[in-house]
Amino acid sequence: QVELVQSGAEVRKPGASVKVSCKASGYSFTNYYIHWVRQAPGQGLEWMGRINPGGTGIIYAHNFQGRVTLTRDTSTTTVYMELSSLRSEDTAVYYCAKDRNDFWSGSLYYFDYWGQGTLVTVSS
């Protein structure tokens, strides 16, 4: 069965960076985009970007350009999200999510499987 398992909670000071992992299993890893979505306390969901595990296609949301980096390791079927220059407003639960459409069908931004979420707390 499809499963996305994320790394554990993190605490960082303002200005630091954090790297969250998302290990995928149960499907063809290189055929589907992986997206990252976050939810800050009391806020809605916010899309951060997507990566094509099978190639070079990476798109970042405008709000995170220059601060977020998505990478992948096909040997371990793991995707990573690194967020730098952290500020208190980045305190949130971060999710990875698998695209429902395969790469060739094109993404309509439907996410059919999600990780369990990783709480990142930014505090001095």
Partner 1 sequence: QSALTQPASMSGSPGQSITISCTGTSSDIGGYNYVSWYQRHPGKGPKLIIYDVNNRPSGVSDRFSASKSGNTASLTISGLQAEDEADYYCSSYTHSRPLFGGGTKLTVL
Q: Which residues bind partner 1 (CB under 8 A)?
A: 4, 37, 43-47, 59, 61, 95, 97, 100, 108-117
The answer to whether residues 81 and 37 touch, using CB atoms and an 8 Å cutoff, is: no
Q: What are phi and psi of 26, to 5 degrees?
A: 90, 5
Task: Report, in Å, the least distance between residue 13 CB and partner 1.
Answer: 26
How deeply is 51 buried, as exposed, middle or buried, from its count of CB atoms within 10 A (0-12, 13-18, 19+)? buried
Distance of closest approach, residue 101 Cβ to partner 1, in angstroms: 10
Closer to partner 1 by CB, 73 or 112: give it.
112
- The least CB distance from residue 17 to partner 1, in Å, is 24
